[in-house]
Amino acid sequence: MHLIDTYGRNVTNLRISLTSKCNLRCTYCHREGEFEPKEEMSLEDIAEILRVAKKFGINSVKLTGGEPTIRKDIIDIIKAIPEGMEASMTTNGTLLAPIAKDLKEAGLSRVNISIDSLDRERYKQISGKDMLPEVLEGIEAAVDAGLTPVKLNIVVLKGVNEDEVENFIRFAGGRKEIILQFIELMDLDVDKGVSNVSELEEDLKKRSKTIITRRMHHRKKYCLEGAEVEVVRPMHNKEFCANCNRLRVTSDGELKPCLLRHDNHVNVRGKRGEELEELFRVAVGRREPFFK
Ligand SMILES: Nc1nc2c(ncn2[C@@H]2O[C@H](COP(=O)(O)OP(=O)(O)OP(=O)(O)O)[C@@H](O)[C@H]2O)c(=O)[nH]1
Ligand SMILES: C[S@@+](CC[C@H](N)C(=O)[O-])C[C@H]1O[C@@H](n2cnc3c(N)ncnc32)[C@H](O)[C@@H]1O
Ligand code: SF4
Ligand code: SF4
């Protein structure tokens, strides 16, 4: 049983927002489209969604938010992920160090950690909190726990952190377990100015020994100076959307066919069994590439 949308895109990945709450206030944050505080899904709701997703052949899940590590039942949520489903998490890393080992033991495979600056003062300006040391500890704890590869997410912000690209490449250079992801700012309504990630990508291309194209979103991975670097360029990118294989779930239990749309959600809160399966089909039927 597989979920293929009307554009021929096979849904193989579920992206679940576990909470809309966060302990940071990043200036640019899209909050995965959730800005109001919402009543979170229960562990049972999440477990049932995962069970149905597995039945439909969805073989990987990304836990995100808000900040997923602030959920008290995070370990139980990970334990509820069905066998054979690859589980990863995207986190700001501030609360990660003390729980990294437990997350791994519960079945989490790897983490992406957001770190927009290696400079303490600048990190504070971007995120609203002076927590760079905790994030750096979180990165090392994740590596030690085997939550690898650890991907570092860096949103490239014009006039703010563009000058840190080389620093990040040096930071990851020679460390096989760390991958960098430079992310283009999705500018929704935020008037922050969009950095020219295409220019950065051209430069990386010139310097790379090897370039790999990932199946997901057809993203490119560049290998240079001992570092692996991905560039995530979602805006006005038809190729990215044409190869989008993820279905989202909002923290309050709605299937969300596209990150950038808020008008086509399917409410599945509290739904079980065949009724939930049918709603998965409805949501996949509503999927269409945002940029086409
Ligand atoms: N437009 C768009 N942006 C996305 C999508 N998925 C991820 N992103 C953006 O890509 C960036 C990285 O997302 P992550 O949560 O780290 O996950 P990922 O890199 O997509 O997934 P993995 O490579 O499997 O770890 C974030 O800025 C997301 O907002 C998507 O389907 N559409
Ligand atoms: C919304 S956060 C949720 C998970 C966690 N709190 C974190 O920061 O990693 C997921 C990812 O989206 C990125 N992100 C948030 N707002 C964005 C925007 N406007 N454009 C591009 N990426 C964004 C963040 O940097 C982070 O890597
Ligand atoms: S830590 Fe993540 S969810 Fe929180 S404000 Fe920053 S990007 Fe958004
Ligand atoms: S914008 Fe929508 S269609 Fe495009 S990649 Fe993101 S979620 Fe998929």
How confident is the model at residue 1, as a pLDDT? 80
Residues 95-113: b if buried by 16+ CB within 10 A, e if exposed: bbbebbeebbebbbbbbbb
Instruction: Look at residue 218 and tell me if it is in a domain.
Output: no
Residue nearest atom 21 of ligand 1, based on CA coordinates: 62
Residues 239-273: b if buried by 16+ CB within 10 A, e if exposed: ebbebbbbbbbbbbbbbbbbbeeeebbbebeebee
How confident is the model at residue 216, as a pLDDT? 76
Instruction: Look at residue 186 and tell me if it is in a domain.
Output: no
Instruction: Look at residue 206 and tell me if it is in a domain.
Output: no
Q: Which domain holds residue 112?
A: 3-181+235-285
Instruction: Look at residue 278 and tell me if it is in a domain.
Output: yes
92 CB within 6 A, ligand 1: no
* CATH number, domain with residue 56: 3.20.20.70
Per-residue pLDDT tens listing for the chain (292 residues): 889 999 999 999 999 999 999 999 999 998 776 777 789 999 999 999 999 999 999 999 999 999 999 999 999 999 999 999 999 999 999 999 999 999 999 999 999 999 999 999 999 999 999 999 999 999 999 999 999 999 999 999 989 999 999 999 999 999 999 999 999 998 765 444 555 788 899 999 999 989 988 877 788 899 998 899 999 988 888 999 999 999 999 999 999 999 999 999 999 999 999 999 999 999 999 999 999 8
Instruction: Look at residue 208 and tell me if it is in a domain.
Output: no
Nearest CA to 74 out of 19, 15, 25, 32 is that of 19
Residue nearest atom 3 of ligand 4, based on CA coordinates: 289
Instruction: Look at residue 193 and tell me if it is in a domain.
Output: no
Residue nearest atom 8 of ligand 3, based on CA coordinates: 29
Atom of ligand 1 nearest to the CA of 112: 16
Instruction: Look at residue 90 and tell me if it is in a domain.
Output: yes
Specify the number of domains making up the chain.
Answer: 1
Atom of ligand 4 nearest to the CA of 217: 5
How confident is the model at residue 195, as a pLDDT? 57
Q: pTM, whole model, 2 decimals?
A: 0.96
Pocket test for ligand 2, best of 74, 179, 183, 236 (most atoms within 8 A of CB): 183
Instruction: Look at residue 95 and tell me if it is in a domain.
Output: yes
185 CB within 6 A, ligand 2: yes
250 CB within 6 A, ligand 1: no
